[in-house]
Structure 1
Amino acid sequence: MKARILLIEDNAQNRYLACFLLEHHGHEVTQAETGPEGLALAETLRPDLILLDIQLPGMDGHEVARRLKADGALRHIPVVAVTSYAMVGDREKCRQAGAEGYIEKPINPETFVAELARFLPGHSDRPA
Protein backbone atom coordinates (compact mmCIF):
# COMPACT_ATOMS: atom_id res chain seq x y z
CA MET A 1 0.00 0.00 0.00
CA LYS A 2 1.33 3.42 -0.97
CA ALA A 3 1.75 5.72 2.03
CA ARG A 4 2.42 9.41 2.47
CA ILE A 5 5.49 9.72 4.67
CA LEU A 6 7.01 12.84 6.19
CA LEU A 7 10.75 12.57 6.82
CA ILE A 8 12.16 15.13 9.27
CA GLU A 9 15.94 14.79 8.97
CA ASP A 10 18.69 17.42 8.73
CA ASN A 11 21.40 15.23 7.18
CA ALA A 12 21.27 15.22 3.37
CA GLN A 13 22.80 11.74 3.00
CA ASN A 14 20.35 10.22 5.48
CA ARG A 15 17.43 11.92 3.69
CA TYR A 16 18.64 10.64 0.33
CA LEU A 17 18.94 7.03 1.47
CA ALA A 18 15.60 6.94 3.31
CA CYS A 19 13.79 8.60 0.41
CA PHE A 20 15.39 6.30 -2.14
CA LEU A 21 14.35 3.18 -0.21
CA LEU A 22 10.82 4.39 0.53
CA GLU A 23 10.12 5.70 -2.96
CA HIS A 24 11.50 2.49 -4.46
CA HIS A 25 8.74 0.70 -2.53
CA GLY A 26 6.08 3.04 -3.91
CA HIS A 27 5.72 5.46 -1.03
CA GLU A 28 5.40 9.24 -1.40
CA VAL A 29 7.99 11.06 0.72
CA THR A 30 8.03 14.72 1.74
CA GLN A 31 11.17 16.04 3.39
CA ALA A 32 11.78 18.60 6.11
CA GLU A 33 15.19 19.63 7.43
CA THR A 34 14.10 21.23 10.73
CA GLY A 35 11.60 20.58 13.47
CA PRO A 36 9.50 23.70 12.81
CA GLU A 37 9.41 22.93 9.08
CA GLY A 38 8.35 19.35 9.86
CA LEU A 39 5.57 20.51 12.18
CA ALA A 40 4.21 22.88 9.53
CA LEU A 41 4.32 20.17 6.86
CA ALA A 42 2.63 17.65 9.16
CA GLU A 43 -0.22 20.07 9.69
CA THR A 44 -0.62 20.69 5.96
CA LEU A 45 0.02 17.18 4.60
CA ARG A 46 -1.46 14.97 7.32
CA PRO A 47 0.90 12.11 6.38
CA ASP A 48 0.34 8.45 7.18
CA LEU A 49 3.69 8.21 9.00
CA ILE A 50 6.34 10.59 10.32
CA LEU A 51 10.01 9.58 10.47
CA LEU A 52 11.80 11.81 12.92
CA ASP A 53 15.48 12.36 13.58
CA ILE A 54 16.10 13.30 17.21
CA GLN A 55 19.26 15.36 16.80
CA LEU A 56 17.86 18.32 14.85
CA PRO A 57 19.11 21.91 14.92
CA GLY A 58 17.02 24.44 16.83
CA MET A 59 14.22 22.15 18.04
CA ASP A 60 15.18 18.57 18.84
CA GLY A 61 13.09 15.59 17.81
CA HIS A 62 11.79 15.00 21.33
CA GLU A 63 10.13 18.42 21.30
CA VAL A 64 8.80 17.86 17.78
CA ALA A 65 7.24 14.55 18.88
CA ARG A 66 5.69 16.18 21.97
CA ARG A 67 4.15 18.93 19.84
CA LEU A 68 2.82 16.45 17.29
CA LYS A 69 1.18 14.37 20.02
CA ALA A 70 -0.24 17.47 21.74
CA ASP A 71 -2.09 18.46 18.55
CA GLY A 72 -5.49 16.78 18.38
CA ALA A 73 -5.42 16.74 14.58
CA LEU A 74 -1.97 15.11 14.39
CA ARG A 75 -1.68 12.87 17.45
CA HIS A 76 -3.03 9.82 15.58
CA ILE A 77 -0.13 9.88 13.08
CA PRO A 78 2.51 7.31 14.04
CA VAL A 79 5.95 8.76 14.72
CA VAL A 80 9.06 6.63 14.35
CA ALA A 81 12.31 8.02 15.73
CA VAL A 82 15.20 7.27 13.39
CA THR A 83 18.25 8.26 15.35
CA SER A 84 21.88 7.69 16.14
CA TYR A 85 21.05 8.03 19.85
CA ALA A 86 21.51 4.45 20.98
CA MET A 87 22.54 4.74 24.63
CA VAL A 88 20.69 3.14 27.51
CA GLY A 89 17.47 5.09 28.04
CA ASP A 90 17.35 6.78 24.62
CA ARG A 91 14.62 4.50 23.29
CA GLU A 92 12.49 5.21 26.39
CA LYS A 93 13.04 8.98 26.04
CA CYS A 94 11.73 8.78 22.48
CA ARG A 95 8.68 6.80 23.58
CA GLN A 96 7.98 9.23 26.43
CA ALA A 97 8.08 12.09 23.93
CA GLY A 98 5.45 10.31 21.83
CA ALA A 99 7.29 8.16 19.29
CA GLU A 100 5.63 4.81 18.70
CA GLY A 101 8.72 3.35 17.05
CA TYR A 102 12.50 3.58 17.24
CA ILE A 103 15.09 2.67 14.62
CA GLU A 104 18.81 3.12 15.20
CA LYS A 105 21.11 4.67 12.62
CA PRO A 106 22.77 3.72 10.51
CA ILE A 107 19.65 2.21 9.00
CA ASN A 108 19.84 -1.19 7.39
CA PRO A 109 18.78 -0.74 3.75
CA GLU A 110 17.68 -4.39 3.58
CA THR A 111 15.20 -4.13 6.48
CA PHE A 112 14.32 -0.43 6.80
CA VAL A 113 11.10 -0.41 4.78
CA ALA A 114 9.88 -3.65 6.36
CA GLU A 115 10.56 -2.25 9.85
CA LEU A 116 8.32 0.73 9.04
CA ALA A 117 5.51 -1.31 7.49
CA ARG A 118 3.92 -2.16 10.84
CA PHE A 119 3.32 1.55 11.50
CA LEU A 120 1.45 2.10 8.25
CA PRO A 121 -2.35 2.11 7.94
CA GLY A 122 -3.90 -1.28 7.44
CA HIS A 123 -1.06 -3.30 8.98
CA SER A 124 -2.36 -5.75 11.57
CA ASP A 125 0.59 -5.18 13.95
CA ARG A 126 0.14 -1.41 13.97
CA PRO A 127 0.56 0.04 17.47
CA ALA A 128 -2.63 1.39 19.01
Structure 2
Amino acid sequence: MTTLNDSDSDSPIRILLIEDNESNRRLMSDYLIYCGFDVFGLEEGTQLAATIEQFCPQIILLDLKLPTIDGYALLEQLQQQDDWKQIPTIVVSAYAFQRDQQRALELGACRYLVKPIRLSQLTDVIREELAKSSP
Protein backbone atom coordinates (compact mmCIF):
# COMPACT_ATOMS: atom_id res chain seq x y z
CA MET A 1 0.00 0.00 0.00
CA THR A 2 1.34 3.41 -0.94
CA THR A 3 1.29 6.15 1.67
CA LEU A 4 1.77 9.88 1.65
CA ASN A 5 5.38 9.51 2.77
CA ASP A 6 6.46 7.07 0.07
CA SER A 7 9.35 8.52 -1.89
CA ASP A 8 9.06 6.52 -5.10
CA SER A 9 9.76 9.37 -7.50
CA ASP A 10 8.85 7.21 -10.51
CA SER A 11 5.21 7.01 -9.46
CA PRO A 12 2.96 9.89 -10.45
CA ILE A 13 1.38 11.95 -7.68
CA ARG A 14 -2.14 10.66 -6.94
CA ILE A 15 -4.89 13.30 -6.91
CA LEU A 16 -8.45 12.65 -5.79
CA LEU A 17 -10.76 15.08 -7.60
CA ILE A 18 -14.27 15.45 -6.15
CA GLU A 19 -16.36 17.54 -8.56
CA ASP A 20 -20.00 16.96 -9.50
CA ASN A 21 -19.97 18.96 -12.74
CA GLU A 22 -18.92 16.46 -15.39
CA SER A 23 -17.35 18.96 -17.77
CA ASN A 24 -15.35 20.61 -14.96
CA ARG A 25 -14.26 17.21 -13.66
CA ARG A 26 -13.24 16.02 -17.12
CA LEU A 27 -11.38 19.25 -17.95
CA MET A 28 -9.40 19.30 -14.68
CA SER A 29 -8.77 15.56 -14.80
CA ASP A 30 -7.57 15.58 -18.41
CA TYR A 31 -5.29 18.55 -17.77
CA LEU A 32 -3.80 17.05 -14.61
CA ILE A 33 -3.21 13.71 -16.33
CA TYR A 34 -1.54 15.59 -19.19
CA CYS A 35 0.70 17.24 -16.54
CA GLY A 36 1.75 13.80 -15.30
CA PHE A 37 -0.53 13.29 -12.31
CA ASP A 38 -2.59 10.17 -11.58
CA VAL A 39 -6.19 11.38 -11.12
CA PHE A 40 -9.23 9.61 -9.73
CA GLY A 41 -12.47 11.57 -10.15
CA LEU A 42 -15.61 11.31 -8.05
CA GLU A 43 -18.86 13.11 -8.83
CA GLU A 44 -20.03 12.97 -5.22
CA GLY A 45 -18.55 12.37 -1.80
CA THR A 46 -20.38 9.29 -0.58
CA GLN A 47 -17.49 7.08 -1.71
CA LEU A 48 -14.83 9.20 0.01
CA ALA A 49 -13.70 6.63 2.58
CA ALA A 50 -13.50 3.69 0.18
CA THR A 51 -11.72 5.77 -2.44
CA ILE A 52 -9.12 7.07 0.01
CA GLU A 53 -8.45 3.56 1.27
CA GLN A 54 -8.08 2.12 -2.25
CA PHE A 55 -6.51 5.01 -4.20
CA CYS A 56 -4.38 6.53 -1.39
CA PRO A 57 -4.43 10.09 -2.75
CA GLN A 58 -1.55 12.42 -1.95
CA ILE A 59 -3.72 15.49 -2.47
CA ILE A 60 -7.46 16.13 -2.70
CA LEU A 61 -9.24 18.69 -4.89
CA LEU A 62 -12.71 19.32 -3.48
CA ASP A 63 -15.75 21.18 -4.74
CA LEU A 64 -18.08 22.36 -1.96
CA LYS A 65 -21.43 22.17 -3.74
CA LEU A 66 -22.01 18.46 -4.23
CA PRO A 67 -25.09 16.23 -4.34
CA THR A 68 -25.92 14.04 -1.34
CA ILE A 69 -23.16 15.35 0.95
CA ASP A 70 -21.51 18.76 0.66
CA GLY A 71 -17.81 19.57 0.69
CA TYR A 72 -17.94 21.00 4.22
CA ALA A 73 -19.13 17.64 5.57
CA LEU A 74 -16.35 15.91 3.63
CA LEU A 75 -13.78 18.28 5.15
CA GLU A 76 -15.12 17.33 8.59
CA GLN A 77 -14.81 13.62 7.72
CA LEU A 78 -11.22 14.12 6.62
CA GLN A 79 -10.36 15.74 9.94
CA GLN A 80 -11.75 12.79 11.92
CA GLN A 81 -9.13 10.33 10.65
CA ASP A 82 -5.49 10.94 11.58
CA ASP A 83 -4.19 9.49 8.30
CA TRP A 84 -6.67 11.47 6.22
CA LYS A 85 -6.11 14.87 7.80
CA GLN A 86 -2.50 14.69 6.65
CA ILE A 87 -3.66 14.77 3.01
CA PRO A 88 -3.57 18.35 1.72
CA THR A 89 -7.06 19.36 0.58
CA ILE A 90 -7.54 22.20 -1.86
CA VAL A 91 -11.06 23.53 -2.23
CA VAL A 92 -11.99 24.52 -5.79
CA SER A 93 -15.40 26.17 -5.54
CA ALA A 94 -17.66 28.73 -7.12
CA TYR A 95 -18.49 29.98 -3.62
CA ALA A 96 -16.67 33.31 -3.59
CA PHE A 97 -17.84 34.71 -0.27
CA GLN A 98 -15.24 35.25 2.43
CA ARG A 99 -17.32 33.33 4.99
CA ASP A 100 -17.30 30.22 2.74
CA GLN A 101 -13.53 30.44 2.36
CA GLN A 102 -13.00 30.96 6.07
CA ARG A 103 -15.28 28.05 6.99
CA ALA A 104 -13.48 25.69 4.58
CA LEU A 105 -10.07 26.71 5.91
CA GLU A 106 -11.27 26.29 9.51
CA LEU A 107 -12.46 22.78 8.59
CA GLY A 108 -9.00 21.79 7.39
CA ALA A 109 -8.64 22.90 3.77
CA CYS A 110 -5.11 24.10 3.09
CA ARG A 111 -6.06 26.34 0.14
CA TYR A 112 -9.20 27.80 -1.41
CA LEU A 113 -9.48 28.57 -5.12
CA VAL A 114 -12.51 30.34 -6.56
CA LYS A 115 -13.84 29.14 -9.91
CA PRO A 116 -13.21 29.81 -12.66
CA ILE A 117 -9.53 29.03 -12.18
CA ARG A 118 -6.64 28.94 -14.57
CA LEU A 119 -5.41 25.37 -14.91
CA SER A 120 -1.79 26.54 -14.67
CA GLN A 121 -2.67 28.18 -11.34
CA LEU A 122 -4.15 24.89 -10.15
CA THR A 123 -0.98 22.93 -10.93
CA ASP A 124 1.16 25.62 -9.27
CA VAL A 125 -0.93 25.40 -6.08
CA ILE A 126 -0.84 21.58 -6.14
CA ARG A 127 2.95 21.60 -6.42
CA GLU A 128 3.28 24.19 -3.63
CA GLU A 129 1.12 22.14 -1.27
CA LEU A 130 2.92 18.90 -2.12
CA ALA A 131 6.25 20.59 -1.44
CA LYS A 132 4.98 21.66 2.02
CA SER A 133 3.81 18.14 2.88
CA SER A 134 6.96 16.35 1.68
CA PRO A 135 9.18 15.03 4.46
TM-score, scaled to structure 1 = 0.89
Give the aligned CA root-mean-square deviation in angstroms. Answer: 1.6
Matched, 1:108 2:108: no
Tell me which residue corresponds to 2:49. Answer: 39
Tell me which residue corresponds to 1:53. Answer: 63
TM-score, scaled to structure 2 = 0.85
Q: Structure 1 residue 75: deviation in Å? A: 1.3
Q: Structure 1 residue 126: deviation in Å? A: 4.7
Partner Cα separation in structure 2 for residue 50 and residue 109 of structure 1? 15
| Deviation by residue 1:29-72 (Cα, 9 ceiling, x = unmatched) | 00111111233201222210000000001110010011011112
Q: Structure 1 unaligned segments of length 5 or more: list them.
A: none
Say which SS state the counterpart of residue 27 (structure 2) adopts. helix
* Percent identity of paired positions between Structure 1 and Structure 2: 33
Tell me which residue corresponds to 1:21. Answer: 31
Say which SS state the counterpart of residue 118 (structure 1) adopts. helix
1:51, 1:80 within 8 Å by CA — same for their partners in 2? yes
Say which SS state the counterpart of residue 111 (structure 1) adopts. helix
Q: Structure 2 unaligned segments of length 5 or more: list them.
A: 1-8
Please say which structure displays the higher CA radius of gyration: 2
- Show structure 1 runs of 4+ deviating over 4 A: none
2:88, 2:133 within 8 Å by CA — same for their partners in 1? no
